[in-house]
Chain A
Amino acid sequence: MSKILCATRGGEASYRTQDAAIALAQERGDELLFLFVVDTHFLDKAGRAVRPDVVAEEMSRMGEFLLAMAQERAQKQGVAADYLLRRGEFRDELKAAAREEGVDLVVLGKPAGTESAFVPADLEAFAAEIEAETGVKARIM
């Protein structure tokens, strides 16, 4: 069984991507692997130092919760899904997961509204970067 890697957070934009990935996995008969990356760089803007490891612990719990929601969503559609949580910079961690988890396809959400992490041009460039660096095909949905 092939594996699809779907990076996710929460919010409406992520739900749309999750649904598209679930539909694709159903169609191909693939297994889904949801990824959440814990990134605490926003603390730099807080103006006050807090131990990043303590915050990362809390953010990891939140990430696991979001992943569990995505898993529940996939299972309701009859798709086998697992999840993976990593800490670090999003782009690096996504590429590392694509390499290490033996996936066949990486699914990226198409930018929609203000909640997307990428603008369209950036996302296309990032998809090309994934393919070039990991040899795994990346699809924008």
Chain B
Amino acid sequence: MRIRNRVGLAALVLLSLFVLLRAAPANSGVETGDEVTLTLVGRVVNTQGTAVDEAEVRVFVPSASSGRGSDEETQVAHIGADGFYVVELTLSQALIEAEAVAVEISKSGFRTTRQGLARQEMACTSDRCHVRVPDVVLLRIFNVAFFIATLTFVAVFVLIAFHVLHDTLAAFLGATVMLGISYTIGTFNPDFWILGFDQAIEFIDFDVIFLIMTLMIVVSIIGRTGVFQWLALAAYRAARGSAWRLAVILMAATAVMSALLNNVTIMLLMAPITIQIALMLEINPTALIIPEALAAEVGGAATLIGDPPNTVIGSFADLGFNQFLMHMGPIALISTITLMAVIYLIYRRDYAAVRKVPSPALLARLEKDAQITDPVTLKRGLLVVGLMMALFFTSELFQMPPSVVGLIGATILLVWVQPNVEEMLSEVDWTMLVFFMSLFIVVGGVEEVGLIQWIADFIARIAGADLFVASLSVLGLSAVASAIVNNIPFTTAALPIAAFLTRTVPGAGNNVLYWSLSLGANMGGNATYIGSAPNVVAVGVLDRAGYRVTFVDWLKVGVPVTFATVLVPSIWLWVRYFWLKF
């Protein structure tokens, strides 16, 4: 009897334990009950709200053996380029009810973040649960990779600014250092990882590369017809002996051509003949060449294809040809008129000293040098440029990227004209295209480690919620920086900052910060002769003709011109975007 009672008691205890265990909360670590499929969907962003890609997502559930204090990793997923992740796992209903599931996000250069899942965030059926995990904001930590990438980035800019290395070589070196360190030390220690090769390739904007490449092909074909030289002589004839009128026509023609074609080629082909015209008129050639170079940069600001910084801005911010023309066209027009006024004040004495009757022998030589050498190719070239313009104007209807317009134009022209293809392709500035690709990787590297984000946060703190202050900050910074460094690397680095401010500063949705960046980058380059490629060409050609322009000589013209061509359009910016708001 006793024994039977003891057995009965033991059975009762066991049964009670079984019931208790069944009823106990899931945090006991023992998985019991029905299983459900849990689907987690979430997004990971940085403090600017931008997607963080390539992070790792780990899902943790309590370990069956050691309880909640020791979680078990059940699933690992990688985050895509859009920052989203989807994880699916099978769990017991009890674990879900107990809110015991946690998601952990980790990425090198960011603080690892863990987030528990609340039951009320889930939508469940009998066998499935779905949860949209709230966005996880990853906070930056400044690791070794941050400092290496920052130093590399600064070194690239210093090498470019002081002409220690060729621009392309400097950018190439920077990209190689970042990738090289990532794949050597970074493989063993994640703190040294800056960016991977696949990410580096994604940072290269091939829309920009293809557009610039194809425009170079078109310009090189047209440039061989003698049209630019002919235009310079036509300007001389139209001026009817007035040097000031000649300067105005040359500035206007260069500005308009630079808005549509590569301004370096235009300067290279127009500068020598302009010098000849100046010498024939016995005026100082600098009084025509420097204004021409300045106008090339100012005119280039008008369109998406006028100057590389605009092409980079347009592609990054998804701003089309028409948008650029509508917003930057008036700014470039105002700047060109301002430029003409300042040039008159600086060179009026030179213009007054013009020789009214030039030497007939020299004029005859000039006319011989400035002939259209290939009218058939010129006609075809102009037709194709016309077609390209039509496509640029309508490209937004077809969602056609500008690079495709360039590709269509260049291909038609190559097939139609059938020049020596090798010769034509050798006129493509491959050095510049490699420079662009390397530069995109370098800027991508510092974006990846958080430098750009840090600078953007800093500017945002200064600007606060004041769009006008933000606009002036971007304009001033880009103008000063572009005077010192080539405006292409500066614009590429500044774009993510402008993008962040456009997202965060109230009212910036009108893209005024992008227009400010474009204005500053284009006009700022005119302050020094190293600030823009047409200026370097102008100084080089003048030097070969015996007219040396020193750094200080250029500053005397470049600084007042830059000041005026930034200040006057700034007033327009204020009127249009802050006062009348149209």
Contacts and interface: CB of A to CB of B under 8 A. Distances in A.
Interface of A: 8-11, 13-14, 38-39, 42-51, 54-55, 58-59, 61-66, 68-69, 72, 114-116
B167 interface: yes
Contacts of B167: 47
Given A10-B545, A11-B546, A13-B546, A59 B536 contact: no
B365 A68 contact: yes
Given A10-B545, A59-B272, A61-B272, A43 B540 contact: yes
Contacts of A10: 275, 279, 285, 545-547
Interface of B: 163, 166-167, 220, 223-224, 229, 264-265, 268-269, 271-273, 275-276, 279, 285, 359, 361-362, 365-366, 369, 426-427, 429-432, 435, 486, 530, 533, 536-537, 539-541, 543-548, 550, 553
30 contacts: A9-B544, A9-B545, A10-B275, A10-B279, A10-B546, A11-B547, A38-B544, A42-B536, A42-B537, A42-B539, A42-B541, A45-B530, A48-B533, A51-B427, A54-B223, A54-B427, A55-B268, A58-B229, A58-B269, A58-B271, A61-B272, A61-B369, A62-B276, A64-B365, A65-B276, A65-B365, A69-B279, A69-B362, A114-B550, A115-B548
A11 B530 CA distance: 23
Contact of B366 (A38, A43, A55, A65): A65
Given A69-B279, A72-B359, 12 more contacts: A11-B546, A38-B544, A42-B536, A43-B537, A46-B536, A50-B427, A54-B224, A59-B541, A62-B541, A65-B279, A65-B362, A114-B548
Nearest to A51: B427
A47 B485 CA distance: 12
A25 B272 CA distance: 30
Contacts of B544: 9, 38-39, 42, 59, 62-63
Contact of B426 (A47, A51, A55, A115): A51
Contacts of A11: 545-548
Contact of B264 (A46, A68, A115): A46
A50 B264 contact: yes
A42 B272 contact: no
Given A46-B533, A61-B272, A68-B365, A115 B546 contact: yes
B268 A50 contact: yes
Chain A interface helix/strand/loop/mixed: helix
Given A47-B536, A61-B272, A42 B369 contact: no
Contacts of A38: 544
Contacts of A51: 220, 426-427
Contacts of B546: 8-11, 13-14, 66, 115
Chain A to chain B: the 6 pairs with minimum beta-carbon distance, closest first: A42-B540, A11-B546, A9-B546, A62-B272, A10-B546, A49-B431
Contacts, number: 113
A50 B275 contact: no
Contacts of B431: 48-49
Contacts of B541: 42, 59, 62
A46 B365 contact: no
Nearest to A14: B546
A58 B228 CA distance: 11
A61 B368 CA distance: 10
Given A115-B546, A115-B547, A65 B369 contact: yes
B361 A49 contact: no
Contacts of B285: 10
A46 B540 contact: yes
A39 B540 CA distance: 10
A103 B275 CA distance: 30
A116 B546 CA distance: 8
Contacts of A44: 166
A69 B282 CA distance: 11
Nearest to A17: B546
B361 A68 contact: yes
B432 to A, nearest CB: 5
Nearest to B433: A49
Interface centre among A48, A54, A72 (most CB of B within 10 A): A48
A13 B546 CA distance: 8
A63 to B, nearest CB: 8
Contact of A62 (B220, B429, B432, B545): B545
A47 B533 contact: yes
Contacts of A61: 272-273, 276, 369
Contacts of B540: 42-43, 45-46
